Amino acid sequence: MSNPVLTIENVSKTYGPVRALDDVSFSCNAGEVHAILGENGSGKSTLMKIASGTVMPDKGTVEVDGTSLQHGDARAARDLGLATVYQDDSLVRELSIAQNLYLGTKQGDVPYGAMLSWAQEQLDRFELPLKADTAVAALTPAHRQFVEIVKALLHQPRVLLLDEPTSTLDLEGVKKLSAMIRDLKEGGTGIIYVSHRLPEILDLADRVTILRDGVFRGTYPVEKELSEHRLVELMIGRDIEGEYPPKPQIGDKVPVLEVNDFSGTHFRNVSFSAYRGEILGFAGAEGNGQREALRALVGLEDATGSVSCNGTQVNFLTPREALESDVLFLSSDRMGEAVYPELSVQKNMTLTRLREFVKGGFLRTRAENENASKMVDDFGVVTASLDKPINRLSGGNQQKAALARSFRSGAKAVLIDEPTQGVDAGARFEIYQAVRENIRDDGTCIVNSSDAMELAGICDRVLVFSRGRIVRELEGDDVTESAIVGSFLTDRQVNETSSDTSSDTGAGAKLLRTLFSGATTWWVPLVFLAILTLAVGTYAASQSDVFLKTVNIRHILLAVAPAGMVAMAQLHVLLVRGLDVSVGSIMSLTVVASSFLIAFQAPLTSLVLGVALCLLLGIVVGLVNGALVRFAHINAIITTIAMLSVLQGIALIFRPTPGGLISQDFTELLRTRVGFLPVSVFFLLAVAFLHDIWLHRTRSGLEAKACGFREEAARRNGVRVDRVQVRAYVFAALLATVAGFFLGSEVGVGHPTVGQNYALTSIAAAVLGGAALSGGRGSFSGALFGAFFFTLTINVISILGLSASVGVIASGLMTLLAVFLYTGVSQIEHIAHNFKRRRAFHVRAAQ
C-alpha cells in the first residue's frame, strides 16, 4: 500500500429522499488500475462527480495526491492533478477538436494562434487518425471518446477517472484503450475505471471496489479466484434467480399486437407478434434499432409497415392515435417524457383514465381519489399522500406511478422502454412483479431493455435485434442472459458507424438554414444582409429622390448608432444563451440621467463625471441582472422584465414628462462629422471590430461561445461559467448605456420612455446578423449590420411617405421574419414531413 494518489474517505451524499452514497471510502495508488463496479443507480456516477470536484459531498473528504480537495470545483481538482473522462461526453459539439482541447488547457499554456498545430500534435501523439479542425459533432461516438481521453491527459494527471469508457467503443477501440491504459499505468498514473463490464475489469484492474445502493460493499484484489459470478453476486447482493416473479404458462398463443414489415431509419423489415398475457422482450446492444422500433410503434419515430392490435389497424402516426387503437408507450426518459414533475402523484397516475371519472362534463373527485388510492396500493407506490408532487418521490416510486398509469389506461398493448432505468435495486424487483401482475388477460406487454439479465428474468420471449433487424427469437428455457448476450455479440462484429442518412430536405430550405442558424461561418449572414440592403436601397432610390441625398444618408447613419450599440449589447447576452429585455429601459434611464448629470451648459469636469456616473449605473444594472439570473436562479426573461419595470419606473419618477436639456457640448461631440460621415460610424465599426476579435480570436471569447453552446461541457472544462454569464449581462448593460448616450444626443432632452422599442429592435437586429437564440452563435459586425438594415427600412418607409403605423408594423414583421428564418424554416420542413407521413400512411391503409 504505497503512495495513494486518490483517497476518498467516509463520503456521503443525499439527493432529496434518495441516499445516493452512504459512507464510502476507498483509495487508488499510483500505477494502479482501480475498478469501481456497481449497477445502474448504485451511486457510481455520484462518486465520480464527487471525486472530480463537480459535486460537493454532504460528508467526508477527498484527497488528490495528498492534498485535500476543499470545495466543489472542477478547476481545483484539475490543478491538483486529477482528470476525468465522462460517460456523457463533455465536449462542445459545435466547436472543433482543437477548440475543445484548447479549452482544457490552463490559461496561457498555449498561445491562441498556435491552437491548431498544437492540437494536431496532441492527436498525433496517440496516433489518432483525426484532423484537429474537425467539428466534434462530425465525429463518431468512439472518436469523441478518444478526444475526450486525449483532453484528460493534457496535464499529465496523477490520477485519471474513466467513467464507462468502452460503452461507445468497438472491439478495436477497446484494444486501443486497453493499450493506452497499460502505458499510463507503467508511467505511474493511478486509474479509476468505472464499468459494469466484468471481462474488462478482470482483464485490466488490479483491485475492484463494489458499490450497491450507494453502500460500500468492499474492495477486492483481482486474482484468479475472483470469478465473474462472485463479482455479480457481490454487486447484486442477493440470489438472483429467486427474485424474479415466476413465469406463468402461456396457453394458446392469441396474438394481440401484430407487426408486419415494419421499417424505419434505424430498423428494417421487423415482423413479429406479441401474444396475450406474455411479456415480450426487445434485446440488443445499444443502438441497434430496438428502441427506435418500439418508439415507432406509437409514432415517436418514422416508420412504414403495418401494425394491428386485436385485429384492427393501428395508426402509428402519433402517440394519441396509437392509444386510440389501444397501444401505449412508456418512455425510458422519465424526467423528459414520462412524468409530470410538479404535478401530484394522483394526477400523474390517472391521466390516461380520466374519461372514466367524467360525469356531465366534470371530473368526479371521489371516484378519482378512490381509484388513485387503489392504483397506489396495487403498484406499491410509496408516497405520503396522493397530492405530493411526484418529483419528491424516489425514482423507483415515480416509475411505479408511471407504470400504474400505463397499465390502467385500458391499452391492450403496453410498450415499456427500460422499465428500471435509474431505479434502486430493491424497487426493481417490485417493478418486475408489478409488470407481471398487471398485464391484462386480453393484453400484452413489450419491454425494451439494455440489461440482458433483466430481460432473461422477466420475459417469456425475447427478440434480439442487430443492425436494425431481428436476428434471433428466444423462447421458454432459451431465455437466459447468456443466450441473449451471446446472440447479439456473435452477430455484431463491429459497431455500426452512425448512418447519417441526410433527410430529404429542400435545397432552398437548407440554404436558408445555413444562412441563419447553421452559420458556423460568421460572415455568411453579412452577405445575406448586404443583398437585402442593396435590394431595399435600390428600390428606395428608384422611388424617391431624397433617399440618396447626403442629408438622408447621414440621418440614417446617425440613427444606426443607438440601434447598433444596443444590438451588440443584446448579442453579448444571446451568446451565452440569455435574453435581456431591459436594454431599452437602460437606454431610457441613461437619457433621463444624462439630462441631470450631463446637463445643459455644465462645465467640462462635471460632464466627464456625469458620463462616468451613467456608465457606473449601467454596470450596476448589469451586475444585478447577472446576479439574479445566476445566483438567485431566476429565469433570464423574468429577471430582465422585472428590471425593465424598475428602470422604467425610476426614469418616469425623475422625468414624468420629457424635459431637461442634455449638454449641447456632449450631443455635438457625439454627432461630430468627419467629412460627410458622422463620427459615430467609425466608433461603431471599431467597437464591432474589437468585439469580433475578442469573440473569434481570444480564449475568453471562446469560453463565452462554449457557455452558450453547452454550459455543462464548458463547466467541466474548467470555464468559470458564472463569471462568463454575469460578465455578459454587465457588458450588455454597459453597451446599452452607451446606446443611451447616442439616443440622448438625438433627442436632446430627458425623455423617459424614448428607449422602449429598442428591446425588440436589438433582438431582431442581432438575430438578422446571425445570432442564435440557442446561444453560441453570432457576430458583432452582424448585429451592427442587422441594426443598419433595420434602420434603413424604417427610413425608407418614412421617405416613401407611408404613415407612422407602417413603420411600427414593419419592425414587428421584420422581427418575426428574423426569428422565423432562424427556427421556423426547419419547423416547416418538420410539419411538411409529418404531413407527407400522414398522407402516405392513409394511402397505404386504404389499399
Partner 1 sequence: MQSHASETVTRHPSEKPGLRVPTIQMRFAAIWIAFVVLVLIGAVFLPRSIQPSALQSVLPFAAFLAIASMGQSLVIMVRGIDLSVPAIVTLSSTLLLGISRGADEMMAAGVIIGLLGAAGVGMVNGILVAVFRLNALIVTMAVGSVVAGLTLWYRQGLPAEASVPQSLSKFGSQTYLGINTSVWIALILTCVITIVLRRTLIGRQFETVGSNPDAAHATGVRSASYQAGAFVAAAVLYGIVGIILSAFIRNPTLEVGQPYLLAPIAAAVLAATSINGGIGSMIAVLGGALFLTHLGQMLKLIGLETSYQMIIQGVAIAVGMFLSSFFEGRKR
Map the footprint of partner 1 across residues 227-246, applying CB under 8 A: none
Query: Which amino acid belongs to residue 686?
Result: A
Give 102's contacts (C-beta < 8 A, 6+ positions apart): 110, 112, 115, 118, 119, 699, 702
Site for partner 1 in 473-512 (CB under 8 A): none
What residues have CB less than 8 Å from 644, skipping those under 6 apart?
581, 582, 584, 585, 759
Rounded distance between C-alpha atoms, residue 331 and residue 721, angstroms: 32
- DSSP-assigned beta bridge partners for residue 614: none
Q: How far is the CB of 689 from partner 1 (least distance, A)?
A: 28
Furthest C-alpha separation in the chain:
100
Site for partner 1 in 74-113 (CB under 8 A): none
Query: Which residue in 156, 365, 538, 698 binds partner 1 (CB under 8 A)?
Result: 365
Long-range contacts of residues 681-689, Cβ cutoff 8 Å, at least 24 apart: 681/557, 681/560, 681/561, 683/561, 684/560, 684/561, 684/564, 684/565, 684/784, 685/784, 687/565, 687/568, 687/735, 687/780, 688/564, 688/568, 688/780, 688/781, 688/783, 688/784, 689/780, 689/781
**Site for partner 1 contains 531 (CB under 8 A):** no
Q: What does 707-761 look like in DSSP terms, one character per residue? A: HHH-HHHHHHTT--HHHHHHHHHHHHHHHHHHHHHHHHHHH-EE-TTTTTTHHHH
Which is nearer to partner 1, 373 or 664 (by Cβ)? 373
> Going by DSSP bridges, is the β-strand pair 82-85/159-163 parallel, antiparallel, or unpaired?
parallel
Taking the complex as a whole, the smallest distance from the CB of residue 338 to partner 1 amounts, in Å, to 6
Q: Which three cell numbers stand for residue 681?
A: 460610424
- Reference 791, options 547, 559, 555, 544; nearest CA is 559
Positions 402 through 431 that interact with partner 1 (CB under 8 A): 405, 426-427, 429-430
Side-chain-side CA neighbours of residue 543 (13 Å): 13
Please, which of residues 783-822 interact with partner 1 by CB under 8 A? Answer: 803-813, 815-816, 819-820
Question: What string marks each residue from 599 to 638 as x (binds partner 1 by CB under 8 A) or -?
Answer: -----------------------------x---xxxx-xx
The SS3 call for residue 139 is coil
User: How many chain residues bind partner 1 (CB under 8 A)?
Assistant: 106
d(CA 301, CA 30): 48
Minimum gap (Å) between residue 384 Cβ and partner 1: 5
Q: Contact with partner 1 (CB under 8 A): which of 311, 336, 476, 675?
A: 336
Q: Any contact of residue 773 with partner 1 (CB under 8 A)?
A: yes
Let me know: does 618 contact 590? Beta carbons within 8 Å. yes
Q: Which residues, 10 to 29, sit near partner 1 by CB under 8 A?
A: 17
Q: Which stretch binds partner 1 (CB under 8 A): 23-31, 271-279, 695-703, 759-767?
A: 759-767
How far is the C-alpha of 630 from the C-alpha of 212, rounded, in Å?
36
180 or 650: CB nearest partner 1 = 650
Site for partner 1 in 379-398 (CB under 8 A): 380-387, 391-394, 396-397
Closest contact distance (angstroms) between CB of 646 and partner 1 is 3
> What character string, x for contact with partner 1 (CB under 8 A) and - otherwise, covers 118-147?
------------------------------
Least distance from partner 1 to the Cβ atom of residue 757, Å: 8
Q: Which position among 138, 179, 351, 616 is part of the footprint of partner 1 (CB under 8 A)?
A: 351
- Helix H or strand E segment including 659: strand 659-661
Residue 217: CB minimum distance to partner 1, A: 17
Cβ closer to partner 1: 362 or 499?
362
Residue type, 732: A
Smaller CB separation from partner 1, 124 or 437: 437
Only one of the segments 369-377, 504-512, 545-553, 696-704 lies at the binding site for partner 1 (rule: CB under 8 A); that segment is 369-377
Binding-residue pattern over the window 650 to 689 for partner 1, x denoting contact by CB under 8 A: x-xx--x---------------------------------
Residue 369 parent element (H or E):
helix 365-379
Q: Among 236, 240, 250, 343, which residue sits at the site for partner 1 (rule: CB under 8 A)?
A: 343
Residue 88: is it exposed, middle or buried by C-beta count within 10 angstroms (0-12/13-18/19+)?
exposed
Which parts of 828-847 interact with partner 1 (CB under 8 A)?
828, 831
Rounded Cα distance between 304 and 306, Å, is 7
Q: Tell me the three state secondary structure of residue 419.
A: coil
Identify which of residues 312 and 664 has a Cβ nearer to partner 1 in the complex.
Answer: 312
Query: Contacting partner 1 (CB under 8 A), which of 433, 480, 505, 533?
Result: 433
To the nearest whole angstrom, how small is the minimum distance from the Cβ of residue 28 to partner 1? 30
Decide whether 385 or 542 has the Cβ nearer to partner 1.
Answer: 385
When asked if residue 331 is in the footprint of partner 1 (CB under 8 A), the reply is yes
C-alpha distance across the termini of the chain, in Å: 74
We find the least distance from the C-beta atom of residue 377 to partner 1, in angstroms, to be 6
Quick check: 355 binds partner 1 (CB under 8 A)? yes
List 12's β-bridge partners, or say none.
59
Alpha-carbon distance 332 to 692, whole Å? 43
Residue type, 361: G
Nearer to partner 1, 599 or 650 (CB): 650
- Contact flag: residue 72 with partner 1 (CB under 8 A): no
Quick one: 224 or 633, whose CB is closer to partner 1? 633
Stretch that binds partner 1, among 195-203, 347-355, 442-450, 731-739 (CB under 8 A): 347-355
Q: DSSP class of residue 598?
A: T
CB nearer partner 1, residue 246 or residue 362 = 362
Name the residue nearer to partner 1 (CB basis): 428 or 440. Answer: 428
Cell numbers 448504485 label which residue? 42
Binding residue for partner 1, selected from 180, 240, 524, 760, defined by CB under 8 A:
760
**Of 113 and 656, CB closest to partner 1:** 656
Can you tell me the distance from the alpha carbon of 607 to that of 667, in angstroms, rounded to the nearest whole number? Answer: 11
Q: Would you say how long the chain is, in residues?
A: 847
| Grid cell at residue 90 | 463533455
Among 712, 747, 757, 800, binds partner 1 (CB under 8 A): 757
- Helix and strand numbers, DSSP H then E, in the chain: 32, 26
Tell me how far apart the alpha carbons of residues 466 and 268 are, in angstroms, rounded to a whole number. Answer: 10
Instruction: For the CB of residue 180, give the shortest distance to partner 1 in the complex, in Å.
Output: 37
Q: Which residue number, 399 or 667, has a Cβ lying nearer to partner 1?
A: 399
Nearer to partner 1, 89 or 430 (CB): 430
Binding mask 267-306 for partner 1 (x = CB under 8 A): -------------------------------x-x------
Other CB atoms closer than 10 Å to residue 186's CB: what's the count?
9
Report the Cα 283 to chain-centroid distance in Å.
28
Contact 140, 497 (CB under 8 A): yes
Q: Which is nearer to partner 1, 110 or 393 (CB)?
A: 393
Query: In terms of CB distance, is 33 or 771 closer to partner 1?
Result: 771
User: Going along 488-645, which residue ranges are E strands?
Assistant: none
Alpha carbons within 13 angstroms on the beta-carbon side of residue 389 total: 8
State the Cα–Cα distance between residues 589 and 104, nearest whole angstrom: 41
Per-residue binder mask for partner 1 (CB under 8 A), 553-582, x = binder: --------------------------x-x-
d(CA 778, CA 426): 50
Contact stretch for partner 1 (CB under 8 A) within 316-324, 460-468, 606-614, 670-678: 316-324
